Structure 1
């Protein structure tokens, strides 16, 4: 912990320009914003990123958009406080930060209790127990099953366009949940209540007892969620939704073997993390039309490179594909609240006070 009369802050990846206003009231703080993302895994961008950040004591980061591996942290001699959005970030080398005395602080994104903090937010974050990740996941799935992207484009570009294909009904079908945590439970609840779907789920330590507790926590009856084996999950799902935590152990948890088990009519949804799925295996499955479709909000490299195959799925995929640019968390209320929390931590640090939401 340190006490500073003045400090410099670099805001990274604020592509909609909402962060600076939250830091503007902090006396003695010099703020610069860099909305264009640089990837430290690319040598030329790494050096540019070092030169951009080497003078700053404080850095505001947005999720995993700009990773902070040890190699980068070691080239930033002035960095004392690294602000993260949310309470988890696998792209920050926490061991290196600890060794170098860099404080890493997260944000909760919850609705503030302080009256002034409430007044400063034009839009509130979702209430506790709700997430726009679930909203986005269902929006993608319904768009894919209802042919909304294709028909919207056709009606706007072809003066003769009208009905050209058929929707996919999902009511009463089987929804598979890979990872029955908070988001998985939220996804399953909507499927069960809104569409009468049968819910099956798997994760490494999931038991039927835990599945029953999850169902009851969602206001559903015991037995509404059925714990199954991993193979049963992939063989039985009509819609398979991924909500697993990314770790070295779970990387590539969905691969060629899993795709070979899936129904040809099945749809895969991933709003969790790209590397949970073997990218090559998914591309091959879509090229071959091995599954009906995929809706993806997360990717293996973000932002997507200009030459990414995902930018040209219309030219190679036999399956339906609906994409969005990692928008699940990017809602106005949560994003502003994150920056509000970051600004509070900057003031605390500059005043020599305890920083909130320390990460380890």
Structure 2
């Protein structure tokens, strides 16, 4: 009997390999891919690259994905006749066409990370967001480059104490980051999302262990209009789930009213922001800095404006970029890969999958 062919996609760090080596090599043929091809359903993806992706994936019975790095739209699924099991990391994956997979009878299993303390807001994305805010405010990257090139003090930091932190979205991540900025730096917190009420913001403050009101009588988490948030916040941080409704929800109309001294941070999803509008604002130097961990197209193409423009020079804003690292911790990835291996064994036995999507 031929070994079961398994593909592990987009494992940039090679962390999956020791976990998948626990599968018996005589029964399982595992191939690991450390690069990502352009998404099948992206408008800029040529047909030749789509065909290359199909050629890569077509031989495999089991495909293990890493988050949303490789989308699986209906058109791609239809071209993978050998696919019988699709495993993803995390507990949801908006890049999978679940209806098409269900129609094909292809089970989908997720993976849970039990290594972080989500209840206290200690998860990796929260930490990364706070790190970006601090790096942008304290001018860390330009100052590092200056010292290493022989320079010294060439700019100045932006203080956070007593300033306004604006969170677009007050779910788990938005509230946890807001809590830290409020407690650690004394920042006033304002929040907006399409359905946010002051009552809901008060309940979120309570769930974070904060009083509804501060000593000055101001709401700890103050629900405001979208325009008021972008106009008054010294730091604007995005914490929304990407959906058809939220795609492009932040545009030039919002960005143009930001303070010249303000900082814009996105650790959620690139397409929440109209990328061309953000690039334009930054090229004109209309805000202090943008700190971005997510982009419309990932990994960033080599000719992307984010890579090629000389940010922070000739009147342009500073731009701090990280390669979608908000969730990338070794413990998290190890836990996810362990769950994927366990799900393969469960599937072969006919047992229920861990974190089944259906």
Q: TM-score of the superposition, structure 1-length normalised?
A: 0.91
Equivalent residue in structure 2 for 1:64, among 64, 68, 80? 68
Aligned mates of 1:210, 1:281 — CA distance in 2: 31
Q: Which runs of 5+ in 2 are unaligned?
A: 213-218
Alignment deviations for residues 198-229 of structure 1 (CA, whole Å, 9 cap, x no partner): 00101111111111111111111013111111
Q: How many residues align?
A: 341
What is the distance in 2 between the residues matched to 1:136 and 1:128? 14
SS of the aligned residue for 2:256 comes to helix
Aligned to 1:50: 54
Q: Shift in Å at residue 293 of structure 1?
A: 1.3
Secondary structure of the 2:112 match is coil
Q: Secondary structure at the match of 1:72?
A: helix
3-state SS of 1:314 partner: coil
Correspondence 1:136 to 2:128: yes
Q: Which 10-residue stretch deviates more, 260-269 or 212-221?
A: 260-269
Other-structure match for 1:253: 249
1:298-337 CA distances to partner (integer Å, 9 max, x unpaired)?
A: 0000000010000023257711111100000001111111
Match of 1:201? 191
Q: Which residue of 2 aligns with 1:34?
A: 33
Task: Give 1:6 shift.
Answer: 4.8
Cα distance between partner residues in 2 of 1:128 and 1:198: 23
Distance 1:313 1:358 in 2: 43
Displaced runs of 4+ in structure 1, greater than 6 A?
none
Does the residue aligned with 2:108 lie in a helix, a strand or coil? Answer: strand
Q: Match of 1:9, SS?
A: strand
Q: Does 1:157 align with 2:149?
A: yes
Q: Deviations over 1:107-129 (max 9, x none)?
A: 1212xxxxxxxxxxxxxx22232
Q: TM-score, normalised by structure 2?
A: 0.92
Q: Which runs of 5+ in 1 are unaligned?
A: 111-124
2:11 aligns with 14
Aligned to 1:284: 280
Q: 1:7 touches 1:350 (CA, 8 Å); kept in 2? A: no
Q: Secondary structure at the match of 2:310?
A: helix
Report deviation, 1:53: 1.3
244-253 vs 259-268, which moves further: 259-268
Answer with 191-200 or 308-317: which moved more: 308-317
Contact 1:134 1:186 in 2 (8 A): yes
- Larger mean CA deviation between 22-31 and 305-314 belongs to 22-31
* Offset of residue 19 of structure 1: 0.6
Q: Does 1:356 align with 2:354?
A: yes
Q: Structure with the greater relative contact order (CA < 8 A, sep ≥ 6): 1 or 2?
A: 1
